[in-house]
């Protein structure tokens, strides 16, 4: 591990210890993880985790606030290309260091010696917060969808905040049994991936047959913009919001690297294939949405534009409700399972470096189930506590989880930026996944792309913000800054005395 301090020499390569012949990683403490994922189950895991076409549907109102189907279609193409640059860059780093910490591990190796400990600690926390915020957002989205369905069928019934929290917490708790047994996780990935793709086909066929059709001119050339932004160029950039939301979760595979067969080869491939498949389904979904968007102006006035759209197209409250439950809510639940699997591995990996209080308990692997159960319980418990904010204000909850998008992109940005600062020559020449002579161009493109998305995610979707629409303000950067400040305080008061800067082997 001492080579990390020598800039002129290639950094250590973990490929040998994570080769296909080694079916487990034996840690110095905490237990053993079996390698149960192959390239196909890992790819389907990631396809499920992104569920890209459903994000277009769930954000129906956002699509028609800023850009319309035209901008959604073109921005999906751009976002897919940008995210592929980032996944290629992170995949190359994963081929060298296939550890569950992912970006935390990369930062640990790439950062300057005097900043290595604190920077890897911060990035580890940022990745953890990104995962739990995204999972919490999906669970709350399910609670709100159920609330919307109840209001549709029983308009006089009021969904209170405590009932919303109960539904939110129920989805989180139900995810635990699905995450507990490692040997069943690949099967869940396959089932979820198949449901994602089959669900897209079912939705597309049903809506293309039953919905009134919009013209090709409307779909591909008409700009719809009620955001308040006057610059068409900036509206185009802000329209990245929906496809970025659909395609920003590909780092999940990084956190399963220690459970993959030959991760140095398979993890990068799975990341790229999953991004291409999800980008293609997202683009197809955007086109279908455009042609079947129906009376979108009418739907935008409803409490839930998504539900109003589906019920109107299917000409049935029962049919629309059933499809929302079977596709959106079911997929959201499986996404929660997948994200918490990744989040628990980040927790487990950081605990091995003594990042948390009670790290000795968090690193333990249940020998029968082959999962870090305490890490899973901690991850879910953290989200349940976040959910308590709903009792004060749902908007406050949404403000907290809004840091997820910014945190994910910063977690992408930092390791690749450090690689550029350190120089690509530090990577082992015999690494399994090598970007070759295009490496610098891809890495620079990835860093510029992440920087653009971070800036975009800090702006509100509507403008200007006044006292009458203060709830539309984007507080994500403020929440993110507050979270990082708390992490720094923890570092100063506690973590710097305990946190280790060596990767377990």
Could you report the per-residue pLDDT of 255-283, keeping only the tens digit for each? 999 999 999 999 999 999 999 999 999 99
pLDDT at 14 over 80: no
Q: Report pLDDT for 90.
A: 97
Residues 434 and 91: their CA atoms lie apart, in Å, by 9
Q: Which of 117-126, 356-365, 469-478 has the lowest average pLDDT?
A: 469-478
Residues 493 and 499: their CA atoms lie apart, in Å, by 12
Identify which of 332, 337, 394, 482 has the alpha carbon closest to the alpha carbon of residue 165: 394
Q: Report pLDDT for 436.
A: 94
Tokens representing 128 are 């953890």
Burial class (CB in 10 A: 0-12, 13-18, 19+), 462: middle
* CA quadruple 168, 141, 280, 221: dihedral, nearest 10: 180
| DSSP code, position 354 | T
Under the banding of pLDDT at 50, 70 and 90, the label for residue 15 is very low
pLDDT at 163 over 60: yes
Residues 6+ apart with CB under 8 A from 211: 291, 292, 293, 294, 313
Q: Which of 149-158, 327-336, 379-388 has the lowest average pLDDT?
A: 149-158
Residues 250 and 85: their CA atoms lie apart, in Å, by 12
Identify which of 28, 33, 100 has the alpha carbon closest to the alpha carbon of residue 366: 33
Q: Is residue 2 in a domain?
A: no
Supply the DSSP string of 156-194, one letter for each residue.
Answer: T----HHHHHHHHHHHHHHHHHHHH-GGGHHHHHHHHHH
Q: Is residue 28 in a domain?
A: no
More confident residue, 220 or 151: 220
DSSP H or E stretch at residue 67: strand 66-67
Q: Is residue 126 in a domain?
A: yes
Cβ(29)–Cβ(200) under 8 Å?
no
pLDDT at 5 over 90: no
> Which 3 state secondary structure label does DSSP give 434?
coil
> Which 3 state secondary structure label does DSSP give 58?
helix
Q: What is the mean pLDDT of residues 159-179?
A: 95
Query: HSE on the CB side for 93, CA within 13 Å?
Result: 34
Place of tokens 């995204």: 134
Under the banding of pLDDT at 50, 70 and 90, the label for residue 359 is very high
- Percent of all residues in the chain with a pLDDT value above 90, rounded to a whole number: 74
Q: What is the mean pLDDT of residues 324-352?
A: 92
Q: Report pLDDT for 13.
A: 55
Q: Is residue 251 in a domain?
A: yes
Go through 17-54 and write b for each residue having 16 or more CB atoms within 10 A of its CB, e for each that does not. ebeeeeeebebeebeebebbbebebbbbbbbbbbbbbb
Under the banding of pLDDT at 50, 70 and 90, the label for residue 69 is very high
DSSP H or E stretch at residue 25: strand 24-26
Q: Report pLDDT for 62.
A: 95
Task: Tell me the whole-structure pTM to 2 decimals.
Answer: 0.92
Residues 443 and 93: their CA atoms lie apart, in Å, by 11
Q: Which tens digit of pLDDT belongs to each residue from 304-336?
A: 899 899 999 988 888 878 888 888 899 999 999
Q: Is residue 4 in a domain?
A: no
Q: Is residue 84 in a domain?
A: yes
Under the banding of pLDDT at 50, 70 and 90, the label for residue 155 is confident
Q: Report pLDDT for 504.
A: 45
* CA quadruple 141, 75, 47, 275: dihedral, nearest 10: -150
More confident residue, 250 or 73: 73
Q: Is residue 16 in a domain?
A: no
Identify which of 27, 51, 7, 175 has the alpha carbon closest to the alpha carbon of residue 101: 27
pLDDT at 488 over 80: yes
Identify which of 402, 371, 377 has the alpha carbon closest to the alpha carbon of residue 175: 377
Under the banding of pLDDT at 50, 70 and 90, the label for residue 469 is confident
> Which 3 state secondary structure label does DSSP give 289?
helix
- First-last CA distance in the chain: 10
Counted domains in the chain: 1
Identify which of 412, 13, 373, 35 has the alpha carbon closest to the alpha carbon of residue 251: 412
Tokens representing 199 are 């669900």
Under the banding of pLDDT at 50, 70 and 90, the label for residue 23 is very low
Mean pLDDT of the chain: 90
Residues 6+ apart with CB under 8 A from 437: none
CATH of the domain at 271: 1.20.1740.10
pLDDT at 412 over 80: yes
Give 26's strand partners.
Answer: 32
Residues 137 and 41: their CA atoms lie apart, in Å, by 25
Q: Which tens digit of pLDDT belongs to each residue from 393-406?
A: 888 898 888 899 99
Q: Report pLDDT for 158.
A: 84
Under the banding of pLDDT at 50, 70 and 90, the label for residue 468 is confident
Residues 106 and 214: their CA atoms lie apart, in Å, by 47
Under the banding of pLDDT at 50, 70 and 90, the label for residue 19 is very low
Q: What is the mean pLDDT of residues 488-498?
A: 96
Residues 6+ apart with CB under 8 A from 395: 471
Enclosing domain of residue 317 = 37-497
Q: Is residue 24 in a domain?
A: no
> Which 3 state secondary structure label does DSSP give 69?
helix
pLDDT at 471 over 90: no
Cβ(157)–Cβ(150) under 8 Å?
yes
pLDDT at 410 over 60: yes
Q: Report pLDDT for 141.
A: 92
Backbone angles phi, psi at 380, to 5 degrees: -65, -45
């Amino acid at each position: 591990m001492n080579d990390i301090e020598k800039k002129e020499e290639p950094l250590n390569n973990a490929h040998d210890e994570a080769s296909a012949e080694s079916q487990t990683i034996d840690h110095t403490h905490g237990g053993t993880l079996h390698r149960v994922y192959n390239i196909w189950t890992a790819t389907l895991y990631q396809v499920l985790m992104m569920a890209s076409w459903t994000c277009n549907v769930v954000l129906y109102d956002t699509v028609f606030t800023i850009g319309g189907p035209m901008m959604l279609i073109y921005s999906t193409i751009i976002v897919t290309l940008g995210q592929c640059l980032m996944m290629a860059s992170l995949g190359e780093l994963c081929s060298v260091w296939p550890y569950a910490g992912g970006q935390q591990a990369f930062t640990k190796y790439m950062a300057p010696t005097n900043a290595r400990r604190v920077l890897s600690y911060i990035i580890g926390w940022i990745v953890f917060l990104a995962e739990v915020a995204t999972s919490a957002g999906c669970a709350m989205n399910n609670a709100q969808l159920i609330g919307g369905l109840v209001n549709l069928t029983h308009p006089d019934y009021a969904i209170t905040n405590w009932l919303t929290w109960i539904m939110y917490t129920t989805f989180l708790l139900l995810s635990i049994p699905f995450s507990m047994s490692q040997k069943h996780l690949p099967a869940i990935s396959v089932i979820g991936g198949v449901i994602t793709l089959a669900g897209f086909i079912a939705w597309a066929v049903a809506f293309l047959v039953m919905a009134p059709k919009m013209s090709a001119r409307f779909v591909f050339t008409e700009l719809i913009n009620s955001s308040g932004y006057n610059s068409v160029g900036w509206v185009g950039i802000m329209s990245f919001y929906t496809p970025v939301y659909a395609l920003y979760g590909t780092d999940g595979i990084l956190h399963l690297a220690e459970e993959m067969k030959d991760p140095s080869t398979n993890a990068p491939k799975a990341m790229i294939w999953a991004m291409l498949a999800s980008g293609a389904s997202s683009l197809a979904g955007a086109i279908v949405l455009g042609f079947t968007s129906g009376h979108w102006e009418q739907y935008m006035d409803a409490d839930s534009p998504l539900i109003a759209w589906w019920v109107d197209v299917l000409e049935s409250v029962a049919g629309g409700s059933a499809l929302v439950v079977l596709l959106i809510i079911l997929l959201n639940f499986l996404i929660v399972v997948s994200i918490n699997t990744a989040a628990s591995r980040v927790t487990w990996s950081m605990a091995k470096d003594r990042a948390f209080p009670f790290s000795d308990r968090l690193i333990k692997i249940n020998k029968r189930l082959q999962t870090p159960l305490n890490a899973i319980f901690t991850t879910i418990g953290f989200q349940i506590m976040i959910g308590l904010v709903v009792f004060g204000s749902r908007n406050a909850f949404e403000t907290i989880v809004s840091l997820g998008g910014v945190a994910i992109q910063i977690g992408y940005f930092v390791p690749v930026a450090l690689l550029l600062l350190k120089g690509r020559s530090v990577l082992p020449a015999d690494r399994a996944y090598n970007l070759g002579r295009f490496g610098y161009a891809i890495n620079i493109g990835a860093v510029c792309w992440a920087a653009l998305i971070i800036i975009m995610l800090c702006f509100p979707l509507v403008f200007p913000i006044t006292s009458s629409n203060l709830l539309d303000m984007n507080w994500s950067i403020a929440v993110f800054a507050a979270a990082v400040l708390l992490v720094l305080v923890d570092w100063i008061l506690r973590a710097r005395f305990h946190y280790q800067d060596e990767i377990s082997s």
